[in-house]
Amino acid sequence: MVFTVAVDDIRVINKELEQINEDATYYRRSYLTSNILTRVHQRSFRERVLMAYQNQCSLCKLKHIELLDAAHIIADKEDIGDPIVQNGLALCKIHHAAFDNNFIGINPDYIIKIQTDLLTETDGPMLRYGIQSLNNSRLILPADKRNWPDKVRLEIRFSEFLKTG
């Protein structure tokens, strides 16, 4: 027999004050227990992708491995989202977030595209030099052509990018 007990909304009252401090109640720490799905293949996927791209961002050449991710072209929850190098890109954290949010797209000819509204936006040097300047530039590809991004997956992902613009 299994029992699950969920305890919620426990408050500790300071006996000296005889009242609950409203700020303390609002900002009190709270936790819950949950089950999570862990992608056990993610570590080896990251290692293989970063090795293929010589531990550098395929958009800006940043080489600090602590700031690099292995981004999926097609999400691994999708049928063709296999954890293979050809479904991955080595991206720095900012470019990974921009790619995942379709601010940056990569067409099947390995050309980087930036959403039009982002190209016309004025913000600061990170936007100007880190994202806008990449428009129409070429993706930095692995030395081994067998590790280049799969063109079919890029086409599928690029069509999503075009729909958001």
Amino acid 90 reads A
pLDDT digits (tens, 9 = 90+) for 67-96: 999 999 999 999 999 999 999 999 999 999
pLDDT digits (tens, 9 = 90+) for 96-111: 999 999 999 999 999 9
- Domain assignment present for residue 125? The answer is yes
- Domain assignment present for residue 36? The answer is no
CA distances from 116 to 12, 46, 91, 109, 159 (A): 53, 30, 21, 19, 15
- Domain assignment present for residue 12? The answer is no
Q: Which domain holds residue 105?
A: 42-164
Number of domains the chain is built from:
1
